[in-house]
Amino acid sequence: MRFAFSTLGVPGMPVADVLRLATRAGYQGVELRAHPEEPVHPLIGMRERTAVRGQFADAGVEILAVAGYTQVAAAQDAAGEEELAQELSELVWLAADLGAPFVRVFPGGGDRPAAEAEADAARRLGAVAPLAADRGVRVLLETHDSHRTGAAAARILGLVGHRNIGALWDVLHSWLGGEEPADTYAALAPYLGYVQVKDVVSAEDTTPLPLGAGTLPLADAVATLGRGPGGHGGPGGPDGAVDQGPGGWLCWEYEKRWYPQAAELPALLTAGREHLQGLLDAPVPVRPPAPPAR
């Protein structure tokens, strides 16, 4: 299993400084927040893209994902549909140009009827899937907002049924949705790209905390990843297992951008990685077999 962090935790930080943080703290990857506030986003040109890719290669750090903000389950008029399709394509092109294997998108269905929102999301994701396949990118639907549980996200992904459309498990949102980690993993295993970890004060106060200092069931979430058979090239393998070898990723999304009062991320990174490694190294609890039915 490899470790990454999101630039959401260091908003606006230049790429060179992000890479220094990653290498000093022992992270193998970075999730790039693809927003115009940041140095890397879909509006930058090929020269900038090539330069960023070279910086990461020189530092020996991988670009894990381009984290976009497209809401694939949102209601749209005709103009909005065209704009959304363009956004998805641009995110895929950006990821491909940077050498990133993943693009992150949100559901964003609001209070729309679930069947309607899910049909729209599946149609839109299915439309971009051929481009993603051609460019060697997987578009991942994050467990978030209107579809924050694994069960809800899986309903959309099951409708799409394409290898290049998958899931990003955000452990905070599935927990806020009342779903146990084992149930989230069971729902997302056939689609899983990688896992976003974080920690917060409480369900009512989602101010970010150092990993292990809050209330999220991180140990349970990580333990579910160790129960799969693995060994099939990483997340999203043919058997749906998350490989803890070279292909698997845990990404710390520390939401400093939305909580300016939170502690600065750079000083927390090394301890956060060590905490995750400790969770991975802990023995997976062996559950006793269920008693025979009477």
pLDDT of residue 13: 98
Residue 268 lies in a domain: yes
pLDDT of residue 126: 98
Question: Between β-strands 62-71 and 29-33, what pairing exists: parallel, antiparallel or unpaired?
Answer: parallel
Structural domains in the chain (count): 1
Mean pLDDT in consecutive groups of 10 residues from the start of the chain, 294 residues: 97 98 98 97 98 98 98 98 98 98 98 97 98 98 98 98 98 98 96 98 97 97 73 35 56 97 98 97 64 49
Residue 293 lies in a domain: no
Residue 244 lies in a domain: yes
pLDDT of residue 158: 98
- Cα(12)–Cα(33) distance, integer angstroms: 9
**Taking the complete model, does pTM exceed 0.85, yes or no?**
yes
272: domain CATH number?
3.20.20.150
Residue 42: which domain range?
A: 2-281
Residue 50 lies in a domain: yes
- Cα(12)–Cα(199) distance, integer angstroms: 22
Residue 291 lies in a domain: no
- Cα(171)–Cα(156) distance, integer angstroms: 18
Residue 262 lies in a domain: yes
Residue 29 lies in a domain: yes
- Interhelix angle for 218-225 vs 181-188, to 10°? 40
Residue 235 lies in a domain: yes
Cα three-residue angle 8-248-28, rounded to 5 degrees: 55
